[in-house]
Amino acid sequence: MSLSIVIMAAGKGTRMKSALPKVLHQIAGRPMLAHVIGTTASLGAARDIVITGHGAERVEATMRALYPQAPLNFVRQEPQLGTGHAVQQAVPCLPDEGTTLILNGDTPLIEAATARALVDACQGERLALLTINLPDPTGYGRIVRDASGERVLAIVEHKDASEAQRAIQEVYTGMMAAPTRLLKKWLGQLTNQNAQGEYYLTDVVAMAQADGVTVVSAQPRDEVEVLGVNSPMQLADLERRHQRAQAARLMEQGVRLADPARFDLRGVLQCGQDVEIDVNVIVEGEVQLGHNVRIGANCVLRNVVIGDNVVIHPFTHIDGDTQGAQVGAGSLIGPFARLRPGAQLGEEVHIGNFVEVKNSTLANGAKANHLAYLGDATVGERVNYGAGSITANYDGANKHRTVIGNDVHVGSNCVLIAPITLGDGATIGGGSTISKDAPAGQLTVARAKQISLAGWQRPQKVKR
């Protein structure tokens, strides 16, 4: 049976007090709406319809960039006159048969299994509501059942509820599944005769009752799936709940987190056995950690593959961006090191404090232990790259490459002006500025002659 998914994402989010559309605020490094669209991808829907409104152009452009292959259809709700009015805008895109699943763009952590359960409860002929019991149901529409508690009779919005109804703890989450043919009919019958003067989607429950359609409910696995975001405080609370859940899943797999409350996963993390991660580590994009990897405190890892037995010392920043980065087995990185896109390190490589590597390959056993820069370079095996040395890879218009052979020793405070090649076994004297190729196995020195000036006096400060 054909499945259509409608995602409501038109709200302004006034309480966010932000120029950014509410659904573009991020959870775990991705916009809330992107989480929902990503979840629906596994449901096999014939069409996804996203209802935009406030900041529509920005929302639509962001989602198209994140999901260029997804069959997304955008419709706009202008002005915003309630949830029922929002779904009315999707009617021209809906077929006459099948099931329509309605989700919220500001409820980002809904799971695919829960969405599927809601569709299954509908069975193409019933109205299925996603409900949950909350200790504090303030602000939610209440589920009103018959005396037996079996049948759902209505949903009463908080603002329209009586005191007795406000005491009900079972609430409507804003998500439902309905037979598309009947949903289109009910949407056409909505009115705005209520305290807010809006068109409520929840009024379709009474219409279903009048048409003799059974109204059923499904419940999520966890409360976090149905928590919406309306304020920065709620956003931060949901972020921490989500991060704690992700940390718990990693620890169940054997990852040792020093403090799960101080760990942020904003992407996908794959870990081998006996991985240890200290506090305040941020993981973004796609990261792979091999066996026996230790990540020190306050590190940021983004789009990188790290081999077995690697130690990443504290305050190291690795950002592979779209090119990716790789750290070979047995390497030692940091503290305070920076690996940029295109950094490809072999085995047993040492990158020390305040060393930056960008778009460079370092072969097995190469070392750059202090205060150095390697950009657009190919570095051979067992190279020792001295403190304060840099590759001058940019001429003001173009980037050029430095090639350093095996067993080369580069002294401290050297400038290697690319394009240049240092032959195998070459030694570069400290303080040299090298602008020509250095022969293999020889000492190359290029620096001004040292002189001392007798009788020279240091300038004196003029007293005023």
C-alpha pair distances (Å), 74 with each of 7, 103, 168: 10, 14, 36
One domain, residues 69 and 211: yes
Instruction: Please list, in sequence order, all residues whose beta carbon lies within 8 angstroms of the beta carbon of residue 227, skipping any fewer than 6 positions away.
Output: 107, 109, 234, 237, 238, 241
Q: What confidence score (pLDDT) does residue 424 get?
A: 98
Range of the domain at 119: 3-226
Q: What is the CATH number of the domain that holds 277?
A: 2.160.10.10
Report how far residue 164's alpha carbon sits from residue 161's, in angstroms, rounded to the nearest whole number. 8
Same domain for 241 and 211:
no
- Among residues 293, 228, 288, which one has the least CA distance to residue 256? 293
Is the domain of 9 the same as that of 148? yes
Q: Tell me whether residue 428 is in a domain.
A: yes
User: Alpha carbon of 449 to those of 187, 412, 432, 445: distances in Å?
Assistant: 88, 17, 11, 11
Instruction: Identify which of 352, 349, 304, 319 has the alpha carbon closest to the alpha carbon of residue 331.
Output: 349
Residue 12 is predicted with a pLDDT of: 87
Tokens of 310: 């690697």
Q: Omega before 335 cis (within 30°)?
A: yes
Same domain, yes or no: 198 and 327: no
Q: Do residues 11 and 160 share a domain? A: yes
Question: Is residue 322 scored above 90 in pLDDT?
Answer: yes
Between the CA of residue 34 and those of 42, 64, 105, 182, what are the distances in Å? 14, 10, 8, 29
Q: Averaged over 415-442, what is the pLDDT?
A: 97
Could you tell me if residue 462 is inside a domain?
Answer: no
pLDDT above 90: residue 92: yes
- Residues 388 and 430: their CA atoms lie apart, in Å, by 10
Q: What pLDDT score does 116 carry?
A: 97
Q: For the chain, what is the domain count? A: 2
243 has a pLDDT exceeding 90: yes
Final residue belonging to a domain, choices 199, 226, 253: 226
Judging by DSSP bridges, how do beta strands 99-104 and 3-9 pair with one another? parallel
Query: Catalytic site residue 54?
Result: no
* Arithmetic mean of pLDDT over the chain: 95
Residues 219 and 258 in one domain: no
The domain that holds 96 is classified in CATH as: 3.90.550.10
State whether 210 and 255 are in the same domain.
Answer: no
Q: In this predicted structure, what is the pLDDT of residue 389?
A: 98
pLDDT at 138 > cutoff 90: no
Same domain, 222 and 291: no
According to DSSP, the β-strands at 367-370 and 350-353 are: parallel
Identify whether residues 361 and 217 lie together within a single domain: no
**Amino acid occupying residue 425:** G
**Which among 226, 245, 269 is the end of a domain?**
226
Task: Please tell me the predicted confidence (pLDDT) of residue 3.
Answer: 96
Does the pLDDT value for residue 149 go beyond 90?
A: no
Identify whether 21 is part of a domain. yes
3-state secondary structure of 327: strand
In terms of pLDDT, which residue wins out, 192 or 182? 182
Q: Residue 437 has what pLDDT?
A: 98
Q: How many CB atoms lie within 10 A of CB 315?
A: 17
Q: Which two tokens stand for residue 286?
A: 């796609």
pLDDT of residue 100: 98
The answer to whether residue 420 sits within a structural domain is yes
* Residue 450 falls inside a structural domain: no
Do residues 98 and 64 both lie within one domain? yes
155, part of any domain: yes
Give pLDDT tens digits for 297-317: 999 999 999 999 999 999 999
Q: Please tell me whether residues 221 and 299 are part of one structural domain.
A: no
Strands 30-31 and 26-27: antiparallel
Given the residues 158, 291, 317, 370, the one annotated as active site: 370
Q: Are residues 220 and 254 in the same domain?
A: no
187 or 70, which is more confident:
187
Q: Is the dihedral of CA 347, 348, 349, 354 positive or negative?
A: positive
Whether residue 260 has a cis bond before it, omega within 30° of 0: no
CA nearest to 360, candidates 308, 403, 309: 403
Rounded Cα–Cα distance for residues 464 and 454 (Å): 30
How many residues does this entry show for the chain? 464
- Mean pLDDT, to the nearest integer, of 205-226? 93
pLDDT at 150: 77
pLDDT band for 180, please (50, 70, 90 cuts): very high
Pairing of strands 356-358, 47-52: unpaired
Q: Can you tell me which residue has the tokens 């090298």?
A: 434
Task: Give the pLDDT score at 422.
Answer: 98
* Top-confidence residue, 368 or 447: 368
Copy the structure tokens of residue 252: 């169940």
Q: Residue 459 domain-assigned? A: no
